Chain A
Amino acid sequence: MNPAYPLPGPLTQLRHTLAADTLKLKRTAALWLALGGGALPVLLNFLIFYFKGRYLVKAGDNPWLQYVGMSWQTASVLLLPMFVVLLTGLVVNLENRASGWKHLLAQPVGRGAVFGSKLLLLLALNAVAQVLYVGLLLAAGHLLGAVRPGLGFQSHSIELLPVLRMLGHSYLASLGILGVQYAAALIFRSFVGPLALGIGGIVSALTLLRWEYIHLVPYAAPTVVLRLMKFDPGLTVPAALAPAEWHSLLWFGVSLVAGYVVLLRRNVSQ
């Protein structure tokens, strides 16, 4: 027995849900975080090089290597994990705050579409933030060349390919945190719970950085992949994925399954 009513296919459901979720982002902290998050590490390193660059760059050396390396370090160790924790929390909390789950899950879209739409949104916002970060980083380097010609940014350059590869590695390394935090946000249905988990995870990862199994910890992955950057003589970054990235992807996959099952089984009683 099949009711003869038009039933939108799974992809149409996902498209509809995504269109709605995108609209809900308007004027939210999550959107501003994604658009502005990448600017902070760039701004900090721009100021460091602007005021103290002469102590950091040896005369005649390529300042880009030092600049990109330091910025990436600033961005990856604390800011990127923190960004992903806040972003997932804020996006999911849009529904918690509006008591939106009872409405959303009573609409004619499957729970898979609801789950997939928010996931795609998170992946996209994370990508936007990281791409903006790299764009701003390179732009700020050129700006340093103009305002601080003594540092030599204008007379040297940096190859784009290794920078883009590093962007890819950092993105993959951040997915483990994204998956765990997304599942946690769906399970806790609050903002504070997943935030506490995220901060705990980040602090533990930073404390355990010298542990031989640190590449298994998702919150450490963005820091661990920094080792892929080699600066001798120019910047080189291998294309192959590091173990930390594979583990990050594994965390991502396992968390998504767990988060989806939780959402699928949820009894919406409040």
Chain B
Amino acid sequence: MNPTAPLLLETRNLHFRFGSRPILHEVSLQVEAGSIYGFLGPNGAGKSTTMRLLLGLLRPASGSVHLFGHDLGRHRVALLNRVGALIENPSLYDHLTGRENVEATRRLRGVPAHRTAEVLALVGLTDNAHRPAREYSLGMRQRLGLAIALLSDPDLLLLDEPTNGLDPNGIMEMRELLQRLRQEHGKTILVSSHLIHEIEKVATHVGVIQQGRLVFQGSLPDLQRLQTGRGRLVLETQDADTCRNLLPGLLAGATVAGPGTLRLPWLSQEHTAEVAAALVAAGQPLYGLRLEQPSLEDTFLHLTEEAAR
């Protein structure tokens, strides 16, 4: 992580437990200003708990949360003035219209009246603002929740699974909206999800949490590099066993994946060329030679499985 960029959000050795059951261990998030930080983890890994700690809804057993460089525990109200949040399902009053729901939070935060119409327009709910929230679809509720989070034009947005219940179109719109908020409005966004492919399309940075521990934190390219390190070279030949016996040095790390298939760690282009040349020189047919990249999904699973072990 770039040490010179200012940290807008930081947690230091955050611990949390429910009763005697430990939930989070030494979670130290570092979110740079102007980034979209994808907070990834399977369900139950501690994402929502972390989000609630970031908002002061829960008190940490030890460790601290720092927003904009200040301790949340000491300046909660002042700091939350610059934060907009959507935690799981949005809290909506079903007996109120969409507009009244926004209006309730607008009054609470003392935000100028014109913001209500602005945020409703931003999430595309202007035409439905007069309808009671109970008539809203899941996707509309999620968008209304986002409108409420955006009311105060916050510098930092905390969004917990914001694409929950959205259809593919809605997910795409949400992604575009987050990118626009970052690029055009300079927002810093922490967005949690259990789906890596949702995060990789929008995040600049990624943190992966598993069983309450942060198992990876870095930029998206860092995660991709980690992924490259797990590339596999796949060789298709006549007889995999024979090949391996003929070239014990070069194919030391190879595993036999099928009668004519060998799989070995990808090291470099030169190494690939050397393996190909050696096989041909040994008189073995080379039917196919390809590089298998694990998907980010595989990398994510690998990270979380390693932590679970």
The interface of chain A, by Cβ under 8 A from chain B, is 1-3, 5-8, 12-13, 16-17, 19-20, 23-24, 26-28, 94, 97-110, 267-269
A100 and B82 contacting across the interface, CB-CB below 8 Å: no
- The stretch of B71-79, B222-230, B252-260, B280-288 in contact with A is B71-79
Across the two chains, which residue of chain B brings its CB closest to A16? B110
Given A23-B104, A23-B107, A269-B58, A13 contacting B91 (CB threshold 8 A): no
User: What B residues does A6 contact at CB under 8 A?
Assistant: 78, 81
| A108 to B95 CA separation, bound complex (whole angstroms) | 24
> Is the beta-carbon distance between A267 and B57 smaller than 8 angstroms?
yes
Contacts of B93 in A (CB 8 A): 24, 94, 97-98, 100
Please report B residues at the A interface, Cβ cutoff 8 Å.
Answer: 18, 49, 52, 55-59, 68, 70-71, 74-75, 77-83, 85, 87-96, 100, 103-105, 107-110, 148
Q: Is the CB of A7 within 8 A of B78?
A: yes
A238 to B78, CA, bound (A): 49
Chain B residues within 8 Å of A100, by CB: 91, 93
- Chain A contact residues: helix, strand, loop or mixed: loop
Whether B100 contacts A108 by the Cβ 8 Å rule is no
Cβ distance A4 to chain B, nearest Cβ, rounded Å:
9
Q: How far is the CB of A231 from chain B (nearest CB, A)?
A: 45
Q: CA A201 – CA B193 in complex, angstroms?
A: 47
Q: Which residue of B lies closest to A94 (CB)?
A: B93
A106-B85 in contact (CB<8A): yes
Is the CB–CB distance between A105 and B79 below 8 Å? no
In the complex, the chain A residue whose C-beta lies closest to that of B145 is A103
Q: A27-B95, A98-B93 are in contact. Are A3 and B18 (CB under 8 A)?
A: no
Q: Tell me if A23 and B75 are in contact (CB < 8 A).
A: no
CA distance A146 to B100 in the complex (A): 45
Contact among B59, B75, B107 with A19 in the assembled complex (CB-CB below 8 Å): B107
Contact of B77 among A28, A104, A110, A267 (CB under 8 A): A110
Q: Which listed residue (A5, A27, A107) contacts B109, Cβ 8 A?
A: A107
Rounded to whole angstroms, the CA-CA distance of A19 and B82 in the bound complex is 21
Q: In the complex, what residues of A have CB within 8 A of residue B90's CB?
A: 103
Residues of chain B contacted by A102 (CB below 8 angstroms): 52, 57, 87-88, 91
